[in-house]
Amino acid sequence: MKQIDPIRKYLYYFAGFLFLGIGIAGYYLPVLPGTVFLIISASCFIRSSDRMYKWVTEHKLFGALVKDYLDTGAIPKKIKYVAISCIWIASSISTFTIYLSKYDYFYILLIILIALASIGTWFISSRPTKS
């Protein structure tokens, strides 16, 4: 592991645990993307703790997905479909909720929501596909 400033090392370590907690919660909470936060967590741990990096990337539930993405950038086809579906379902629910609440800036929020969902869809689609 490359030597880094001790303060940065502790910041990465703290951030790694923060994203690890969010990532694990994402496996149990609907709409919260768990694997994304676990990838961020592993990226923090690779700069701060070999032991925790190894734990995240070798975990029996999510380790293979995280390791594959970090090594190749590839996302399994099924996960791409699920992720893109979740993005658009959550965006549709948000749009409907905002519309029902008669929010004054509905169209501005709608444009922002569609733009963010489109960027997320583009990013996921642009990653290599693992069969």
Q: Are residues 20 and 65 in the same domain?
A: yes
Q: Are residues 96 and 110 in the same domain?
A: yes
**Is residue 82 one of the residues assigned to a domain?**
yes
Give residue 65's pLDDT.
85
**Is residue 24 one of the residues assigned to a domain?**
yes
Q: Are residues 79 and 44 in the same domain?
A: no
**Is residue 90 one of the residues assigned to a domain?**
yes
Give residue 2's pLDDT.
59
Q: Are residues 65 and 116 in the same domain?
A: no
Report if pTM > 0.75: no
Give residue 30's pLDDT.
73
Domain that holds residue 101: 75-130
Give residue 35's pLDDT.
83
What are the pLDDT tens digits along the chain (131 aa)? 556 788 898 999 999 999 999 999 988 887 777 888 999 999 999 989 899 999 999 999 888 888 888 888 888 888 888 889 988 998 999 888 888 888 788 889 899 999 999 999 999 899 888 87
**Is residue 1 one of the residues assigned to a domain?**
no
**Is residue 80 one of the residues assigned to a domain?**
yes
Residue pair 87/58 in contact by the 8 Å Cβ criterion: no
DSSP state string for 23-83: HHHHTTSTT--HHHHHHHHHHHHTTT-HHHHHHHHT-TTTHHHHHHHHHH--EEHHHHHHH
Give residue 82's pLDDT.
85
Q: Are residues 12 and 68 in the same domain?
A: yes
Among 50, 72, 94, residue at a domain's last position: 72
Q: Tokens at residue 3, please?
A: 């030597």
Measured distance CA(21)–CA(37) in Å, rounded: 8
Give residue 101's pLDDT.
83
> Which residue pairs, CB below 8 angstroms and at least 24 apart, start in 64-69?
65/35, 65/38, 66/35, 66/38, 66/39, 66/42, 68/130, 69/35, 69/39
Count the domains in the chain.
2
